[in-house]
């Protein structure tokens, strides 16, 4: 399953291309025209998606950006292939069109797209979804067909909790399951630490970076954020779940009350989340790290790409003798980091003996984007070699956008 990404636009009408000075102007012109017509009729356009690479890109969410970001919020898209079959789609909170499909190597796939009022929308199965569990220490928990994740909230921090990093829910089913797990755990005493046929929680985080957290550094010290202060769910399926996470103010060196904001999104078919990080209150360049905790159960189970495209770890879970399988974790940086290395702990932390970390530089008022996530040996990942290949392919495809033609 391949990564979502912004796509390059190729205009097929030379006369329009001559008038429009930039791709963003063209996109806004097109989507605005569509929305203006939708009130009186159902406009249909031809959408052609070309995969120019030698690799199949199947089960991928394609994102088409509207840079004015307001035109389609009250609309929905009806997308059909040339045989008239409906294709899963979504309009995001910021006015982007998402289309889910298969895109074979060196081929073009064509769709017919109609933008209509929401009341005319077609049913699409919800695959990517999130929730805030106020009955369980304000967990923000989200999932797609490949895996699930958890981030602790305000009541957890108020109760003295120290966990920092991202937690993992393993999954072996393609439909949403986390609400059922929480309800079973809280209402009926069905432990979500045991596999009832769909996966479980067998990953240990502790006060570490967990399964891919980011954090600022002062010298050699990591300034771990503990829990979130505010969570806003911006998109809640069917193809993408997006949340804006606001962290508590922290002191970073001589900078006081630095507030971190993350926008985390997870698409159908992807093993990795996209996270865009920014900070308010920084006055100078800082080192930002992303990382994965290395547990004592598999001290040498990490891998660092020689070209710094990715890092990975095979986690044997909190009880390897229980037949829990293996959790494969990875981080991909579209902009190569300054360095990636293994950093041992001075003493063991919640089964952790060290962390594999990237180091990069972030400037005040800038944004840092990276991808992180996991897969499970019982949920479709066929070993570490397959996982490393996926991460390498993910990086390559981030650098090679699909081509979009709109007529």
Region 295-314 average pLDDT: 97
Instruction: Collapse the DSSP code of 191 into the 3-class scheme (helix H, G, I; strand E, B; otherwise coil) and give the result.
Output: coil
Q: What is d(CA 95, CA 148) in angstroms, rounded to the nearest whole number?
A: 25
The reported pTM is 0.87
Span 295-321, average pLDDT: 97
Please state the rounded mean pLDDT for residues 183-211: 95
Residue 92: pLDDT band by 50, 70, 90 thresholds?
A: very high
What average pLDDT score do residues 167-194 get?
A: 96
**194 band by pLDDT with thresholds 50, 70 and 90:** very high
Rounded Cα–Cα distance for residues 111 and 80 (Å): 6
Q: What's the mean pLDDT in 310-327?
A: 96
Say what the pLDDT of residue 115 is: 79
| Residue 59 pLDDT > 60 | yes
pLDDT score recorded for residue 14: 39
CA–CA–CA angle 90, 91, 94 (5° rounding):
140
pLDDT tens digits, 271-297: 999 999 999 999 999 999 999 999 999
Q: Predicted confidence band at 74 (pLDDT cuts at 50, 70, 90)? A: low
Q: What is the mean pLDDT of the chain?
A: 88
User: Please, is 208 exposed, middle or buried when counting C-beta atoms within 10 Å of its C-beta (0-12, 13-18, 19+)?
Assistant: buried
| Over residues 213-224, mean pLDDT | 96
Q: Tell me how far apart the alpha carbons of residues 51 and 404 are, in angstroms, rounded to a whole number.
A: 9
DSSP state of 83: T
| Per-domain residue ranges of the chain | 8-124+401-406, 129-376
Q: What is the CATH number of domain 129-376?
A: 2.70.98
27-39, pLDDT tens digit by residue?
444 444 444 444 3
Which tokens hold the place of 311?
């890092």
CATH class of 8-124+401-406: mainly beta
Rounded to an integer, the average pLDDT of 160-172 is 95
Nearest to 274 by CA among 86, 58, 98: 98
Q: What is the mean pLDDT of residues 313-320?
A: 96
Contacts of 293 (CB under 8 A, 6+ apart): 165, 204, 205, 206, 208, 209, 210, 211, 349, 352, 354, 355
The arithmetic mean of pLDDT across residues 306-325, rounded, is: 96
Quickly state the pLDDT bin for 330 (edges 50, 70, 90): very high
């Amino acid at each position: 399953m391949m990564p979502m990404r912004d796509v390059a636009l190729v205009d097929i009408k030379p006369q329009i291309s001559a008038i429009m000075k930039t791709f963003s102007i063209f996109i806004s012109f097109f989507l605005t025209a569509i929305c203006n017509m939708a009130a009186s009729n159902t406009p249909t356009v031809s959408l052609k998606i070309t995969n120019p690479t030698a690799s199949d890109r199947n089960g991928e969410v394609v994102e088409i950006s509207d840079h004015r970001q307001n035109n389609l919020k009250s609309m929905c898209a009806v997308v059909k292939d040339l045989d008239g079959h409906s294709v899963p789609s979504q309009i995001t909170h910021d006015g982007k069109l998402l289309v889910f499909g298969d895109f074979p190597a060196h081929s073009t796939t064509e769709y017919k797209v109609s933008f209509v009022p929401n009341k005319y929308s077609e049913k699409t199965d919800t695959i990517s979804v999130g929730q805030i569990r106020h009955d369980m220490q304000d967990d923000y928990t989200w999932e797609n067909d490949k895996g699930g994740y958890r981030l602790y909230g305000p009541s957890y921090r108020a109760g003295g909790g120290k966990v920092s990093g991202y937690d993992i829910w393993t999954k072996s089913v393609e439909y949403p399951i986390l609400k059922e797990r929480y309800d079973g755990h809280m209402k009926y005493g069905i432990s979500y630490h045991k596999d009832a046929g769909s996966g479980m929680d067998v990953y240990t985080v502790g006060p570490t970076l967990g399964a891919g957290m980011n954090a600022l550094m002062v010298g050699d010290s990591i300034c771990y954020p503990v829990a979130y202060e505010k969570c806003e769910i911006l998109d809640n399926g069917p193809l993408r779940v997006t949340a804006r996470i606001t962290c508590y103010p922290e002191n970073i060196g001589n900078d006081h009350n630095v507030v971190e904001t993350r926008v985390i999104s997870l698409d159908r078919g992807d093993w990795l989340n996209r996270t865009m990080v920014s900070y308010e209150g920084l006055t100078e360049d800082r080192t930002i790290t992303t990382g994965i905790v290395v547990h004592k159960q598999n001290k040498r189970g990490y891998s660092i790409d020689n070209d710094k495209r990715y890092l990975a770890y095979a986690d044997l879970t909190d009880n390897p003798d229980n037949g829990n399988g293996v959790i494969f974790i990875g981080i991909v940086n579209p902009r190569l980091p300054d360095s990636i290395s293994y950093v041992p702990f001075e003493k063991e932390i919640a089964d952790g003996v060290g962390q594999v970390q990237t180091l990069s530089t972030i400037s005040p008022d800038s944004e840092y984007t990276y991808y992180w996530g996991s897969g499970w040996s019982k949920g479709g990942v066929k070993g570490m070699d397959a996982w490393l290949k996926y991460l390498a392919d993910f990086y390559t495809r981030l650098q090679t956008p699909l081509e979009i033609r709109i007529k």
